[in-house]
A = this chain, B = another copy of it.
């Protein structure tokens, strides 16, 4: 399941970009960019791992940081050249990253023996908590509190994932169904919002 790691890094990269954009808007300096890119990208997963009391995922894998710093660097270079990342493109990749984070986070909670209910919560937290910490550090009320559809899409996807597994599907099939449900709903929301 090595390709899973690539999806993970894709999500990390996109979340790092949104952190970089937030830092840029607030006219922060280089260190602010690094911190915001990092907490947005790994904040949700880190909180999940600390609460589950398992080793945090990035502790022994530098790929996460290489991805985050590269994404932040490329974003800053583009911004300085007054090029912009089209909002649609960003939202599209964000949806992929989000779907992946939520379903993987749900599974990780289940792996550690939580109830279905707590697993849905942990999955959703994996998807949205990084952005919440980003917003708090930017002195904003978390964006996800103002546009509830984003968060409820996560809850929906995690629930579908668990129901599919509960109905007897293999983890792999359930993942495919969970991720594509979440992704479809999110893309529909982006299109018709």
Contact = CB atoms under 8 A, between A and B. Distances in A.
Given A23-B145, A137-B142, A118 B31 contact: no
A55 B189 CA distance: 37
A78 interface: no
A65 B148 CA distance: 19
Nearest to A36: B145
A73 interface: no
Contacts of A118: 58-60, 62, 65
A51 B46 contact: yes
A136 interface: yes
A29 B145 contact: yes
* Oligomer: number of copies: 3
Given A138-B141, A148-B32, A53 B53 contact: yes
B144 A31 contact: yes
A60 B114 contact: yes
Contacts of A30: 148, 152
Interface in A142-189: 142, 144-148, 150-152
Interface of A: 23, 26, 28-32, 35-36, 46, 50-53, 55-56, 58-60, 62, 65, 113-115, 117-118, 121, 132, 136-142, 144-148, 150-152
Given A46-B51, A62-B118, A139-B140, 15 more contacts: A26-B141, A29-B147, A31-B144, A31-B151, A32-B142, A51-B56, A52-B59, A58-B118, A59-B114, A62-B115, A132-B137, A136-B136, A138-B141, A139-B139, A139-B141
